[in-house]
Amino acid sequence: MKIGMVCYPSYGGSGVVATELGYALGERGHEVHFISSSRPFRLHRYHEQLFFHEVADVSYPLFKTAPYTLLLANKIVEVANYVGLDLIHAHYAIPHSISAYLAIQMMTKPLPLVTTLHGTDVTLVGAFEEFYQLTRLALRVSDRITSVSRALALETEETFGRADQGIDVIPNFIDPKVYFPLEGLPGRCRKYFAPQGEKILAHISNFREVKRVVDVVNIFARVEKTIPCRLLLVGDGPEMSRVEREVLKLGLEGKVQFLGKQESVVEILQMVDVFLLPSGQESFGLVALEAMACGVPVVASRVGGLPEVVQHGKTGYLADVGDVQGMSEAVLRLLSDKFLYKAFSEQAVHWARETFPVERAVLGYEKVYQEVCLRSNARSRRPEAGK
Ligand code: GMT
């Protein structure tokens, strides 16, 4: 199949999922055409079945900002005509499914549209009154809707009503050939960050308010009073200044390291002891899965899709949003009992590999693609009414 993959290029789980799915589909012989404002950040390995089409950025005195949704729609039509796409797979309803829908209206042979919901498109953006009708339209005009967790599917149905065709849950996934623990070996840079053998806690995100990175710092502050440890903060975003101020306020500057945006996080995860994800909302929490696949237990909030990803009391611990005390106690429990820690670490790897393998997700998406294409072929063969 020739698939038009529309996604955000910037740091974030949805772009990672679209890109990794693209590589896996390429391996299975499909042709994948990424259409985005710039090259998705994980699309760096050459693959003969993968292509990238950049959406132009035009400036014109009348435009306050470039109308990206329209430019994207135009690009989708160009790519579809030129390469002969079989379908469009939009990651994120707003604006990608809307652009794809507009593009389809411009085509002589309309293509099927698959939309994957990643979370903030429904829980935050979609629920804003300003985007509500558009998100509803995106859901209605998609031939198939997939969601990355059961919680998100449910929330979508609660917010927008039940979609005619229902929502297929295809959980996010990992490739264990990429995400694996460094058995018995200390991570490469562990000595650099924790020279006295301190434990390492870590958090990776885009530092948006929803990630509650200030909670991460406060959890760390409580843990390090009892157990010598270091905190690695990976990523950047709007909350960065607030987080830096909190670190200074608590006098933790020698113990907290800011690593900024990193393209590959596996080397970091492989040297970490506990991963923290105290988000206020999380439809899945891909980075928690990546951490578990590297043998790192996760302490996270009991919210959204996280309980589907982290097994409370087996691969990590969950606590209520904002329960800094509960989360720090959970970290201390893990770090002060080496038998418990080993069991959690092994269970995390096993759970991540068995429950979220890339192969299962690719087969799930392939099935959805085949079904929408079959249905659309049947539709185009159907004689028009009255003829
Ligand atoms: O979490 C973010 O801020 C980024 C966002 C994205 O669009 O990349 O993540 C969402 O999609 C990821 C991939 O499906 C999920 O793992 C994240 O849980 C989800 N984020 C939220 O729901 C806040």
Q: In this structure, is residue 82 part of a structural domain?
A: yes
Which atom of ligand 1 is closest in space to residue 121's alpha carbon? Answer: 7
Give DSSP secondary structure letters for 230-252.
Answer: EEEEE---TTHHHHHHHHHHTT-
Write down the pLDDT at residue 238: 96
| Shared-domain flag, residues 218 and 334 | yes
**Residue 39, CA distances (Å) to 9, 71, 201 in order:** 6, 16, 31
Residue 342, pLDDT score: 96
Is 122 part of any domain? Answer: yes
Same domain, 149 and 203: no
Query: Binning pLDDT at 50, 70 and 90, where does residue 65 land?
Result: confident
Nearest CA to ligand 1 atom 12: 13
Instruction: Provide the token pair at 120.
Output: 């903030």
Residue 53 burial class via C-beta count within 10 angstroms: exposed 0-12, middle 13-18, buried 19 and up: middle
Per-residue pLDDT tens digits for 240-296: 999 999 999 999 999 999 999 998 899 999 999 999 999 999 999 999 999 999 999
Instruction: Return the minimum-mean-pLDDT range out of 43-47, 332-336, 382-386.
Output: 382-386
Q: Give the Å distance between the CA of 287 and the centre of ligand 1.
A: 9
Give the whole-number percent of the chain exceeding pLDDT 70.
94
The residues pairing with 52 across neighbouring beta strands, listed in sequence order, are 34
Name the residue range of residue 48's domain: 2-173+357-386
Q: Which helix (H) or strand (E) holds 51?
A: strand 50-54
- Could you tell me if 247 and 318 lie in one domain? yes
Instruction: Compute how many other C-beta atoms are within 10 angstroms of the C-beta atom of residue 367.
Output: 13
* Sequential DSSP letters for 251-306: T-TTTEEEEE--S--HHHHTT-SEEEE--S--SS-HHHHHHHHTT--EEEES-TTH
Best residue for ligand 1 mutational test, from 14, 89, 211 (most atoms within 8 Å of Cβ): 14
Ligand 1 atom at minimum distance from 92 CA: 7
235 and 148 in a single domain? The answer is no
Q: Ligand 1 pocket: which of 118, 125, 303 to mutate (most atoms <8 Å of CB)? A: 118
Report CA(154)–ligand 1 centroid distance (Å).
Answer: 16
Of 120, 169, 207, best ligand 1 pocket probe by most atoms within 8 Å of the beta carbon: 120
With cut-offs at 50, 70 and 90, classify the pLDDT of residue 123.
confident
Same domain for 165 and 234: no
Residues 147 and 276 in one domain: no
Q: Where residue 155 sits, what CATH number does that domain have? A: 3.40.50.2000
pLDDT of residue 386: 40
Q: How many CB atoms lie within 10 A of CB 164?
A: 8
Tally of domains in the chain: 2
pTM of the predicted protein model: 0.93
Residue 178: inside a domain, yes or no?
no
Q: Which of 6, 7, 282 to mutate to test the pocket of ligand 1 (most atoms within 8 A of CB)?
A: 282
Closest residue to atom 4 of ligand 1, CA basis: 12
Question: Does residue 183 form part of some domain?
Answer: no
Q: Is the same domain home to 240 and 324?
A: yes
pLDDT in tens, 343-362: 999 999 999 999 999 999 99
| pLDDT for 184 beyond 90 | no
On whether both 203 and 245 belong to a single domain, the answer is: yes
How far apart CA 271 and CA 182 sit, in angstroms, is 8
Number of other CB atoms surrounding residue 387 within 10 Å:
4
Q: State the Cα angle at 243 between 238 and 245, rounded to 5°.
A: 120
State yes or no: pLDDT of 382 exceeds 60. Answer: no
CA of 117 to the centre of ligand 1 (A): 10
Separation between Cα atoms, residue 236 and residue 207, nearest integer Å: 5
Ligand 1: which of 7, 210, 284 to mutate, most ligand atoms within 8 Å of CB? 284
Ligand 1 site residues (CB inside 6 A) read: 12-15, 17, 118-120, 148, 172, 206, 208, 210, 281-286
Tell me, in angstroms, the distance from the centre of ligand 1 to residue 169's CA: 15
The per-residue pLDDT of the chain, averaged, comes to 92
β-bridge pairing 256-260 and 167-169: unpaired
The answer to the question of residue 339 being in a domain is yes
So what's the pLDDT on residue 131?
Answer: 86
Residues 329 and 363 in one domain: no
The span from the CA of 327 to the CA of 321, in Å, is: 10
Question: Is there a domain that residue 33 lies in?
Answer: yes
Ligand 1 centre and the CA of 29: distance in Å? 28
Atom of ligand 1 nearest to the CA of 283: 22
37 domain residue, yes or no = yes
Tokens of 38: 């710039």
Least confident of 94-108, 141-155, 187-201: 187-201
- Residue pair 293/174 in contact (Cβ under 8 Å)? The answer is yes
Per-residue confidence band for 32, with pLDDT thresholds at 50, 70 and 90: very high
pLDDT attached to residue 387: 38
Shared domain for 108 and 226, answered yes or no, is: no
| Same domain? 348 vs 364 | no
Residue 202 binned pLDDT confidence (cut-offs 50, 70, 90): very high
pLDDT on residue 161: 80
Atom of ligand 1 nearest to the CA of 116: 14
Give Cα 4 to chain centroid, integer Å.
19
**What is the rounded CA–CA span in Å between residue 126 and residue 129?**
8
Closest C-alpha to ligand 1, atom 23: 282
In the chain the first and final C-alpha atoms are separated, in Å, by: 32
Residue 156: CB atoms within 10 A of its CB come to 25
Q: How many residues does the chain have?
A: 387
125/9 same-domain check: yes
Beta bridge partners of 214: none
Return left, alpha or beta for 61; rule: phi > 0 is left, psi -120 to 50 is alpha, else beta.
Answer: alpha
Alpha-carbon distance values, 131 to 91, 157, 320, 338 (Å):
16, 16, 29, 49
Kindly state whether residue 231 falls inside one of the protein's structural domains: yes
